[in-house]
């Protein structure tokens, strides 16, 4: 029997990634087909919620979205409604606009709000829950750094993209006897570099959790050369950092530039090894394109679970996957936290057993 008709809201926040449209599809189809709910989509994340930019989502709106990249709702990166920059008599000021969100949700008679996003989006959702908003989070992030879930939406597809790039770089590296560096996303956590590095046969993997010594990296490369391997593949997480106090610890290390940390590392290695290097920065290529089959299944599971949680009144939690089972987790256990790669975990041990260097 269908429950009493009610309305739920939905938005996508933070950086885009493969799978956002397919999770919107799962939410809308479950909400309408199973529970007879209305679904109100707010555009461009919390910005649309503050400015009351919305549309009622129907089954026809989500038809054909399963394999489409991006998000039909749009998104904004790093927008904080608690610190929104507004123009006050020609002067830019920060204002707390969360009361606008409360007002707009009440105006639309929305019982619960489903927020699809990364740490910042879910943290904002948690802060709204403390103000009385019924919130359900769905974790998406190609970095896979959200606690409370084994995998986030977009991560598996990003690893596939990075692995394919490593596969293609191998032949060029071997042909020209070069050092090939592939820089992937992962500012705070190195999951993409670690998993794609293992899958793509990288010789060296650099992640934020394990500070690297450039001299040890050079030694690894020269050891390979002495054994007849005149090339090396290095998978670099954008958040990789050198060990403190090393000769090359910071000096001219670029931070938040379009060139990335890998260009800095490549220049250092050319001096130390006298081998030619080339750098490929995947950047936003990791965010685009169609989601992998695994991500399509994950998004569908999480989208359906989020609506079921709303129907049960199980709010202020995030829908997660633990040991391949659905596992809602309190938002308080997710907000402002980061799931880092365990430096003594199984994947790091496996990589070391395969001869991979982490520069330490």
Within 10 A of 279 (CB to CB), how many other CB atoms are there? 20
Mean pLDDT of the chain: 91
Q: Which of 16, 143, 145, 295 is catalytic?
A: 143
Q: Are 58 and 26 in contact (CB under 8 A)?
A: no
Active site residue 143: yes
Task: Place 319 in a pLDDT band, splitting at 50, 70 and 90.
Answer: very high
| Strands, E assignment, the chain | 7-12, 38-42, 54-57, 84-88, 91-95, 110-117, 135-139, 179-184, 204-206, 232-237, 277-281, 317-318, 321-322, 325-326, 329-330
Pairing of strands 317-318, 135-139: parallel
**Rounded to an integer, what distance in angstroms lies between the CA atom of residue 74 and that of residue 57?**
14
- The pLDDT value recorded for residue 177 is 78
Q: Is 2 helix (H, G, I), strand (E, B) or coil?
A: coil
**Rounded (to 5) percent helix, strand, coil in the chain:** 40, 20, 40
Residue 132 has pLDDT above 90, yes or no: yes
pLDDT in tens, 252-280: 444 444 458 999 999 999 999 999 899 99
Within 10 A of 72 (CB to CB), how many other CB atoms are there? 17
- The pLDDT value recorded for residue 258 is 46
pLDDT in tens, 184-239: 999 999 999 999 999 999 999 999 999 999 999 999 999 999 998 888 999 999 99
- The pLDDT value recorded for residue 198 is 97
Task: Place 150 in a pLDDT band, splitting at 50, 70 and 90.
Answer: very high
List, in order of start, the domains of the chain with CATH numbers.
7-154+291-327 (3.40.50.450), 158-287+343-353 (3.40.50.460)
pLDDT in tens, 11-66: 999 988 999 999 999 999 999 999 999 999 999 999 999 999 999 999 999 999 99
R_g of the chain, CA atoms, integer Å: 22
Q: Residues for the chain: how many in total?
A: 360
């Amino acid at each position: 029997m269908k429950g009493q008709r009610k309305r739920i809201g939905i938005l996508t926040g933070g950086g885009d990634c493969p799978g956002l449209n397919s999770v919107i599809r799962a939410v809308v189809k479950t909400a309408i087909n199973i529970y007879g709910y209305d679904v109100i989509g707010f555009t461009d994340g919390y910005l649309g919620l503050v400015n009351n930019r919305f549309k009622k989502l129907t089954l026809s709106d989500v038809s054909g979205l399963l394999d489409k990249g991006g998000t039909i709702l749009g998104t904004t990166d790093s927008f904080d409604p608690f610190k929104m920059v507004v123009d006050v008599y020609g002067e830019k000021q920060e204002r707390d606009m969360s009361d606008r969100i409360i007002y707009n949700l009440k105006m639309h008679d929305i019982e619960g709000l489903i927020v699809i996003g990364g740490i910042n989006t879910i943290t904002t959702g948690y802060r709204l829950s403390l103000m009385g908003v019924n919130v359900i989070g769905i974790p998406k992030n190609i970095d896979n750094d959200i606690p409370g879930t084994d995998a986030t939406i977009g991560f598996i597809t990003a690893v596939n993209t990075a692995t394919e790039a490593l596969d293609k770089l191998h032949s060029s590296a071997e042909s020209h006897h070069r050092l090939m560096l592939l820089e992937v996303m992962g500012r705070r956590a190195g999951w993409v570099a670690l998993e794609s590095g293992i899958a793509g046969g990288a010789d060296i993997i650099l992640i934020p959790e394990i500070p690297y010594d450039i001299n040890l990296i050079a030694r690894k490369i020269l050891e390979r050369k002495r054994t007849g391997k005149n090339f090396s593949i290095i998978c670099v997480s954008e958040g990789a950092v050198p060990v403190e106090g090393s000769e090359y610890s910071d000096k001219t290390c670029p931070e938040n530039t379009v060139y990335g940390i890998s260009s800095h590392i490549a220049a250092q290695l050319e001096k130390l090894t006298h081998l030619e290097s080339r750098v490929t920065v995947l950047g936003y290529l990791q965010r685009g394109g169609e989601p992998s089959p695994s991500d399509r299944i994950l998004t569908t599971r999480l989208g359906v679970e989020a609506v079921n949680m709303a129907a049960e009144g199980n709010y202020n939690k995030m829908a997660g996957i633990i040991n391949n089972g659905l596992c809602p987790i309190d938002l308080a256990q997710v907000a402002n936290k980061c799931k880092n790669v365990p430096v003594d975990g199984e994947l790091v041990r496996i990589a070391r057993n395969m001869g991979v260097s982490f520069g330490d």
